Structure 1
Amino acid sequence: MSKAKLKKYMSALSKEQVVDIMFQLYDASKEANAWLEFYMEPNSDAELEKYKKAIRNQFFGRNDWPKDPSFRECNKLITSFKKLVPAPHAIADLMLYYVEQGCSLTAQFGDYDNPFYTALENNFNKAVKFISSNGLMPEYSPRMKKMIKSVECCGYGFPDTLWDIYYEYAED
């Protein structure tokens, strides 16, 4: 159904019918439930922490023991968070946090395989591009530099690629 068709249909309903549909939607879908709750009481900080915890759990298990992360799941979490329409700085924070967790994992527990680094590089590129396009480079630049320096001991040219991505967008 197109948005135009939905708008036409919803416009013909009474207020009570629209409210009833909203309650049904709220009960029918976890995603709709989360979106409506965030819409009614937008608390970016609380939601951000919830999503950060979920991402961290992809990289570290109990007692901070390393895990083989699901990059697909992390990307789904980022997408779900974006759908809530939080402030750009909250999205940037989560995107960068995702890459930081991968960097922390490899810095603490040694080198991983090339696909691991490629996934992190691709997500760092997305994060830096988002940060730059939203005018947030001055705010996030020190954090990105610190993260890249933390993995300078890693292999596969990983830190070099991160520096290349960073300097493509850097303002300093």
Structure 2
Amino acid sequence: MSKRALKKYLAELGPAELSEQILDLYERFPVVKTYYDFAFNPKEDKLIQEAKSRIGEEYFPKRRKKAKARRSVAQKLIKHYTTLGMEPFLLADLMGYNLETALKYEKTRNCPAAFYTSMYKSCREWVTFMVQEGVYPEFQERFISYMRAVQAGNWPNSYDFAALEEQL
């Protein structure tokens, strides 16, 4: 069904029928329930704390011995919160937290080349997001601090990070 056809169909429905349709969607599809739960009671701070906890557990687990250190965990959370329409400042904070946690992890381990590549990609996404959403000035010091730590850590792809910093 096209968007035009959907609009026409919805225009033909009365208020009670439309309400019934939305309630049916809410009950049937978890995605719709999640959206409405967030729209009417966001609790953004709680969601961010839960996300930070999951990211921290990914790099520094409490229940198992070995860290999985998967970038995808944070990326899925960030994408989900972006879809929900979370405040850009909080999303930028979460993206920065992810990078800072990975930086702490890197200092304690011998990481493969793929780790450094994925962290560069995450950093590039963080910078792009901050600039697009206009929150870079609030995170500028944090970003510079992260970049200095990468340079001090002598990462194999630190030249990529330096080039990214120069673009700003």
TM range (shorter): 0.7 to 0.9
Shift of 1:80: 0.4
Shift of 1:95: 1.9
Q: Kindly indicate whether residue 49 of structure 2 is the aligned counterpart of residue 80 of structure 1.
A: no
Contact 2:117 2:157 in 1 (8 A): no
Contact 1:110 1:154 in 2 (8 A): no
Distance across 1 between alignment mates of 2:109 and 2:59: 14
Shift of 1:97: 1.9
How big is each residue's C-alpha offset from its partner over 1:93-149, in whole Å with a ceiling of 9 and x where there is no partner?
A: 122222222112112x13301111101101110110111122222210111122233
Contact 1:92 1:130 in 2 (8 A): yes
Segments of structure 1 that go 5 or more residues without pairing to the other structure are none
Distance across 2 between alignment mates of 1:131 and 1:22: 34
1:133 equivalent in structure 2 = 132
1:6 equivalent in structure 2 = 6
2:50 equivalent in structure 1 = 50
**Alignment RMSD, CA only?**
2.2
Displacement over 4 Å in runs of 4+: 63-66
Contact 2:147 2:161 in 1 (8 A): yes
Q: Indicate the larger mover: 98-107 or 62-71.
A: 62-71
TM-score, with normalisation over the residues of structure 2? Answer: 0.85
1:113 equivalent in structure 2 = 112
Contact 1:82 1:91 in 2 (8 A): yes
Distance across 2 between alignment mates of 1:51 and 1:5: 38
Q: Which amino acid letter does the alignment assign opposite residue 122 of structure 2?
A: N
- The percent of aligned pairs where both chains have the same amino acid is 22
2:157 equivalent in structure 1 = 157
Partner secondary structure for residue 111 of structure 2: coil
The structure-2 alpha-carbon separation of the partners of 1:154 and 1:30, relative to structure 1 and needing over 3 Å to count, comes to farther
TM-score, with normalisation over the residues of structure 1? Answer: 0.83
Segments of structure 2 that go 5 or more residues without pairing to the other structure are none
Distance across 1 between alignment mates of 2:95 and 2:28: 29
Distance across 1 between alignment mates of 2:144 and 2:65: 26
